[in-house]
Each structure stands twice: as structure tokens, then as C-alpha cells.
Structure 1
């Protein structure tokens, strides 16, 4: 009987395999591409509450959190190169319930980030084509890039690398074009939550702006979900992560400072296209530079949008393969060897979010701001459980092969953990309604988790998680 079960499991695994085709450059492209839309929009909402100077402090704190997190997270990624990423690490450390919490949080992060980016794509296109409804353009983006992801990961990763390089070039062009109008007085005016002087009230705005500072770096951990498709994950992933986070920190600081110093930053603080509007201060509305920025700016949004579709599909695939979601979501396309059903399932949720104004636009925030905040809640919970998993595995599985060990252990992961807990606490305080919606998602998912134990017992054997 045991041998029959093992045979069935082995047979099942062959129907759930991903192709190993990704090299170091492609993984770097995914790491930066997943995040780079955060330099184009989303972060400027943080100015509305913290001011420019207050937001700089918030952003530097979050940059430190991400830097220490990535150096620590890379140890987990290279030790357990699994498409489930954080789900696999937490399951290994804390069992099925830990796996559920990490998997559900990651799913919220990666399923809710794309609709926010798609809405920004629609906003950028609306600048060029005023008659085009941004939501319809956002849905069109979903259809195009879901199709591209289904066609194959090699094609998708090559495309991701190209658009990421173009997006970086475009951000450098933006900084160069607005630099003649750079005035620090513009950036500093009202820089402490609308005031020219720092006060205790400035802290309130700085904490409230945490979700939008996180948006600068959100989803870089998605490279972990491509680990099963990497040719040499134990070497290529550390390089991709470390160079990726350094690239993003430099770009984030540069874009934020140059945009704020170009003119009246308060006009950029609640919109989805701050860079084109910042460039208008310098070159005017009809300049060819401005129109070039709009078109090239789409590359940054597309890079993240396309990369996060890859990320959410692998998370859905891994959760379904392990029995945490319906098994049919773990099927790969017979020709392209991509998780096509998982790609489509996440797209359906994202498109529904785009058209759900009445449900998601609450608490005095815009639709985009609420979607961003929801995604960030998922990310922060996942960061916390990932760092806890790192500490747990160091203690309970000291002999695990660790091709990359977190530097300055335990200080780096401890700082990342404490910073993530602070971020979560402040986000709950400032975004209670969104926090309750997030908690409801997790609770409903946990109910499904409890009712589907048999589904996990008969799931295909997962060699990467076997003791």
C-alpha cells in the first residue's frame, strides 16, 4: 500500500514541474523589475501625510529594513529553493499552520499589488489618450501580460530584463531633465508634514507614511518564487538579491529628491503619475521630454506588473500543489510548462479589484492607496514570519545546507524583524479598516485551511520540503 501511494505521488510530481531556465541577469531583472514601479508612483502618497523631509526619514528607515531583510531572506531562499518562497520556509519551520499564514499573506501581497500598478498604467496612458478610461486600460494590461506569462518563463524573463533596463534608463533621464530646476528650498518647504519646522506632530505623519515607503521596495522577495526555475539558485539568487536591493535604494532616493525639488511637491502628493507632473514644472506640458517620460515611464510600470504576475502565479501554484488551494490550480500548461491556471486565477481577482470602487475606496483614501495598503499588510506579515522562520531553522535545523548565510547574524534579521513589527503596528493604527479587511481575508482562508486537511494529505510529494 505504501509503495502504491509513493508511486502515485511520484507520478503526480511530474505533472507539477517547472523548467529551470533562469540565469543571474534574468533573476536580477526580475528582482529590480518587480519593484521598480514603486519609483514611478505610489510613494508620493507618503508626502501627503509626512511631508518631504519627514518622508525621507521614513524611507531611510524602511530602506534599512529591506536591506537587512534581503540579506537575511537570501539565506532561506538558497537553503530552500522552492516556488512557494516564504510559504515553504514557514512550513519547514512551523509546520502546516505556519505555511498557511506565510502563504496567505504572500498571496494577498502579490495579488493586490498588480491592480494598483495596472491602475497607474491606465493613468499614464490617460495622459496621452484623454478619451481612454484608465480602468479599461488596466484590464487590457492584465490580458496582455497574463498571456505573455503563459507563453513561457524564458520569454517572460527576457522581456522583464529588457523593460527593467529601459525603466532604469528612463529614471536616470528623468533626474537629468529636471536637474536644471533643482532647488532644495522647493523640497524642504513644508517638509515636516506641511510645516517648515519639526514638531512632535511630524512623528504622526512619518509613521502614517510607512506603507508608501514600503511601496518603494515591495515585492523584491518575489525572486524567491522563481527559485525552482533558476539554473543555479544557490549562486545566482544571492547575487540578484544583493545587487537588486542596492540598485533600488539608489534609484528611490534619487527619484524622490529630484521630483520634490523640481517645484511645488504638494501637487504631486496624491496622484498616480508624479514623475510626468514633476517634469511639467521644468519643461512645460507640451515638451517632447514630457511625452517621452510618459511613454518610457510605462516600462517601469510594465516591468513590475509583469514580474508580479509571475510571482503571484508561482505562489498560487505552490500553494495548490501542496494542497492549500484547489489542486487544479497547480496544473502546468502541457506545451509551455507554465502555471497557466494560477496566472488566470490571480488575474480574475485583480481585475475584480480594479472595478470595485465602492468596496475598496473607503477610509478617506483613494482606490489605489487602499489597494497599496492591503498589499503592504500582506508583505509585512510575510516578512515577520520569514524572519521568525530563519531564527527557528537556525536552532532546530543547524545542519541544513546554507549556501548563503545571513551576515551579522543575529543582528540583521533581528533589525528586520523589529522594523517589520513596528511597521505592522503603525499600519494597523493608521489603517484600521484596511487591517480589518486583511484580517477577514486571513480568517476566511484559515477556515478553508481547516476544512481541507485531507487535500494536503493526498497532495503530491514535495521533495524540497521532505525532512
Structure 2
């Protein structure tokens, strides 16, 4: 490979700790605005609170463990690189495919929520075409440069956090625990079969509160001093997200009849309307500023999926054509556009993705969560294995309470994956089919992987 080809496959390190924190929170913060209320429909408010605590424990232990991997192996492929290092090319495939499914299927769900929010103000606009417009705008912004994209991400993330705090403050006077707890279990009591079933069935919507925070690792090659900045971003990010998710869920559920907020794409405006009325200026502010939360995650996850496609293509797992970097902006422009094409197709695939009686948005979320859980399992297994087979690896950050934390995250992720496969069996079959077809492609592309440039971070030993 000549010198020019090496240059166009490299990303530019420009991001600091505050920008990485903005990406960490921004990737996820749309989960506070929509998606989670489907969990109320499955489990009730109290049942979903149990699910939330269970999943928050998984994410907290996962992030404190995952940070060790992201600092020891600061690679744009993130989980793909860790699994490759621990288990070889096959491990890299399964982690990379799982991450790709997570990050490619999350944006269309967020884009549809953007459409739903704007449809509140402009009923004549079709939410799906609004979603397509969002893709066009933010793919272009991502192509223009990572520094521009990250600074924009930080700006909208700070605004989104401020808006969530405003929401909590405005609805707080109308909060009542009696409202929140009324009919709060899916069954007749906490331990009834229906309640337990609802708690397990609500897992993907609790995960939606945190889904994609791990995407910061895929910005590692674009971070300045990733061994110091990534731990700061991750730890501050998970603490920020747990606090915001808990506050939003509790305050929204206590303002009135929470059943009116379950299974909709815009629960926060509807919750605020109960307190201030539909025509209040607070309502209009929430809808407009609430878009910042959706935009932050949408924009950030486009950054995430593009780096995963780029890393897989660079390693020969996808067509090398997708590994090109724009000669002027130094961004993986082809990878950005490729993920967008898949996402837009998902938006218009109602007949394919509306499975099991769930809405299009709920099933897209579920598909994304299947990818995330498989990736979490592989990542924690990789951490445990790398500690054993590469004890001398340079680890600037070491997971605390090892091996308890990674084992907690691993076990909860396995339980969650099995529960979701049971309760969302049709989506799981579709997920497994995608992974299986991809594996056939993996078996047929050995030559392209052999021809890929050597990557020391993947090869390790």
C-alpha cells in the first residue's frame, strides 16, 4: 500500500475530554425524550422502575469495565477491536456486526421521534419525510469535520440537559406519588406472573435510556490523549445519564394518568401539557428545545456508526471502498452515507419491521438493543480474557472491583438478551438472520481481510 493510501485511511485526533463527555451524553440523551415510555406499557410505572434499576446497574458496571478496554486499545472499531484482540477474526466479526446493528438501527428510531415532535407543531408535515430530512442535514454536518461535529454535539447536549431540568422544574408542582404508583404493576401485585413478565418485557426500553454511550470508544482515534480523556468522559457521562433518566421518569409519571403517556413517541410534551395546558408557552419551548435532545443523539450516533463501518472496512470485513476518508475534511464520508441509506430504508419498512404487534419505533429500538446486548456480552468476555492472556498489556485505566464489575455486567446482559429473545421472538429471528447472513459474508471474504493493512492494535501479541 502506498503512502497516499495510508494517509486517507487515518482519522484526525482533535477531541478533548469535554467534547468526549458531550458525545457520551449526547449519544444517549434522546432516550430521556422518547422510547422509554413503551416500558410503562409493558410493565407499568413501578414495574418499569424495577427494570430501570436492574439495567442502570448493568450500565454502571459495564462502563467502569469497558473504559479499561477503550483506553488500552484506543481504536475506531471499539468493540470490534477488543474482540479481535481477545478472540481473533471471528470474535471481531460478531462484535463488529452487533455494534453495527446497534448503531445503524438506533438513528431511524430517533429520526422518527424528531418527526413526531415537529408533527406536533406542523400537523401537515409527514413525520417520515421529516426523518429523511434530518438524515440529510446531519450526514452533511458529520462529513464537514469531526471538530465541527463534536462542538455542535456539545452545544446541543448542554441545551438538551438544560431543557430536561426545565421540564422537571415546570412539572414538579403537579407531581404526586399517588399518580405515579396508581396501577403501577402490570399484574395484580409485584410478584404476580404478569408483573414479572412485564418487568422482563420492558428491558429494551430501559436500555434505551443508556443505549450507545459506548460509542465514545469509536472516537478514540480522534481523541487527544485518549488514555486520560476517555475515562473522564465515560465516568462523568454515566453519572449524568443515570441522574437525568431517573428524574425524567419519576416526574413524568407523577403528573397525572401515566397510561396516557405510555407507548407514544413524545411523552414529555404530553406530560407537560397536563400541568400547563396545550397552548402554554412552556409547551412550545419544550417541543422546540426538546428537539435538541433528539438531535444530539441522532447526530452522535451517525458519528458512531460511520466509525464502525470505517473500521470494519479498513480491516477487510466490509468493502475497502467504505474505508476512504474525505481528502479535505478527514471524515469517513462514504461510511456516513452508507449507514444513512440503511436507516432511511428502515423508516419506510413498516411491513417488514412492524412485527409482533409492536409499533415500528418499538421494533427498531428492540433490534438496536439486541445488537447492543450481544456487543456488551462479547466486550465483557474480551476484557476477562485479555486480563488472562495479556497480563502485561499497558492499561492506563483498570476496571475497579475486578472481576466483579465485568461479571455483573456480563450476567445482566445475558439475562436481558435471553428475556428479550423470549418476549420479542420475531425481532430476534430477524436479528439472528442478519448476523447469520453477515457471517456467511465473513467466511467468503478472507482474502480481503488478508490483504488489509496490518493493524498493531488488533494483532497485539
TM range, smaller chain: over 0.9
Q: Distance in 2 between matches of 1:10 and 1:178?
A: 59
- Residue 68 of structure 2 is matched in structure 1 by 75
Query: Relative to structure 1, is the Cα distance of residues 438 and 9 closer, same or farther in structure 2, using a 3 angstrom cutoff?
Result: farther
Q: Distance in 2 between matches of 1:161 and 1:435?
A: 34
Q: Distance in 2 between matches of 1:89 and 1:12?
A: 25
Deviations 1:166-194 (A, max 9, x none): 00000000000001100111000000016
- Residue 354 of structure 2 is matched in structure 1 by 361
User: Would the aligned equivalents of 2:51 and 2:203 in 1 still touch at CA under 8 Å?
Assistant: yes
TM normalised by structure 2 equals 0.99
Q: Which of the residues 64, 70, 93 maps onto 1:100?
A: 93
User: Would the aligned equivalents of 1:13 and 1:461 in 2 still touch at CA under 8 Å?
Assistant: no
User: Would the aligned equivalents of 1:380 and 1:420 in 2 still touch at CA under 8 Å?
Assistant: yes
Task: Flag structure 1 segments of 5+ consecutive residues without an equivalent.
Answer: 1-7
Q: Distance in 1 between matches of 2:371 and 2:284?
A: 35
User: Would the aligned equivalents of 1:374 and 1:434 in 2 still touch at CA under 8 Å?
Assistant: yes
Deviations 1:271-317 (A, max 9, x none): 00000000011000100001100000000000000000000000000
SS at structure 1 position matched to 2:413: helix
Task: State how many pairs are aligned.
Answer: 460
Q: Which of the residues 151, 165, 170 maps onto 2:144?
A: 151
Q: Distance in 2 between matches of 1:23 and 1:128?
A: 37
Q: Distance in 1 between matches of 2:317 and 2:5?
A: 16
Alpha-carbon RMSD across the aligned residues, in angstroms, is 1.0
Q: Distance in 2 between matches of 1:281 and 1:85?
A: 43
Q: For 1:277-426, what aligned pairs fall within 5 Å after superposition?
A: 277-426=270-419
Q: Which runs of 4+ in 1 moved over 4 A?
A: 194-198
SS at structure 1 position matched to 2:8: helix
Shift in Å, 1:400: 0.3
Q: Distance in 2 between matches of 1:110 and 1:275?
A: 24
Shift in Å, 1:10: 6.1
Q: Distance in 1 between matches of 2:455 and 2:2?
A: 9
User: Would the aligned equivalents of 2:47 and 2:190 in 1 still touch at CA under 8 Å?
Assistant: no
Q: Distance in 1 between matches of 2:166 and 2:158?
A: 12
Shift in Å, 1:462: 1.5
Deviations 1:357-409 (A, max 9, x none): 11111110000000000000000000000000001100000000000000000
Q: Which of the residues 437, 443, 446 maps onto 1:444?
A: 437
Shift in Å, 1:49: 1.1
SS at structure 2 position matched to 1:218: coil
Shift in Å, 1:13: 2.6
Task: Flag structure 2 segments of 5+ consecutive residues without an equivalent.
Answer: none
Shift in Å, 1:14: 2.1
- Residue 230 of structure 1 is matched in structure 2 by 223
Q: Distance in 2 between matches of 1:466 and 1:312?
A: 23
